[in-house]
A = this chain, B = another copy of it.
Amino acid sequence: MRMTVAYDGRNYAGWQRQSKATTVQSVIEDALGAIDSGPVRVFASGRTDAGVHAMGQVVHLDLARELDPAALLRALNSVLPPEIRIMKTAMVPGEFDARKHAVSKEYRYFIWNDAVLPPHLHARRAHLPVLLDEARMQAAASSLVGRHDFASFTANANRPTRDTSRLLSRLDVRRRGREITIIAAGEGFLYKMVRSLTGFLIKVGEGAESPASAREVLAGRRRTGRVPTAPPEGLYLWKVRYTP
């Protein structure tokens, strides 16, 4: 079975099951355990960090019970908290793997760029009162698109060195009134890569870095203090794409 999951990440310690904290994975697996006969594991397209949201996380799972997709969706949503919703369910061949078979992922990062953050956007937008120049941000963003070594835009300090080359197929900056949206798509992303790219684009939008400096930082292939990590509450795992 394949499921598309949306969640408000504000009260969760991220996607992945942990022994001492409530995570989205553990809440879904516990709910499935109450529906199926015995424990069920769900396998996601990837993790999300504490406070990060999802509109289209994709998971796969195997059930012992025979349950059609519509019945599973209803049963799960009736026991899950309203902050986690199963948006879609579908039968897939047994070999379908949500992580391995993903061909691309899209993240969106939302910034509320005004003096006051309206109450209904609390924990759902990054709040930046200082006016950002989205044209400068777009110029920097465009220069980062393509296959590059993104070591400068990841937070891998405690992890073993690995291949930090990724294809970033899209990095767009849009403004609609007081809201700025950054759209990042690619075949895969490094740890905290979207928040690192966003953190640097914000510095460009504030005027603290030039658009041209993006390529310079990229070429350094080493994370430095020039690249801050943008806060988690603005980030949404938006969509995961698979070959039909």
Interface residues, chain A, with chain B CB atoms under 8 Å away: 6-8, 53, 55, 73, 77, 82-87, 115-120, 122-124
Contact = CB atoms under 8 A, between A and B. Distances in A.
Given A6-B119, A85-B119, 12 more contacts: A6-B118, A7-B119, A55-B118, A73-B116, A82-B119, A82-B122, A83-B122, A84-B119, A85-B116, A85-B118, A86-B116, A120-B124
Contacts of A117: 82, 85
Please indicate which of the listed interface residues A8, A53, A85, A119 has the most CB atoms of chain B within 10 Å of its own CB: A119
A39 to B, nearest CB: 24
Contact of A87 (B8, B77, B116, B123): B116
Nearest to A124: B120
A85 B77 CA distance: 32
A5 to B, nearest CB: 9
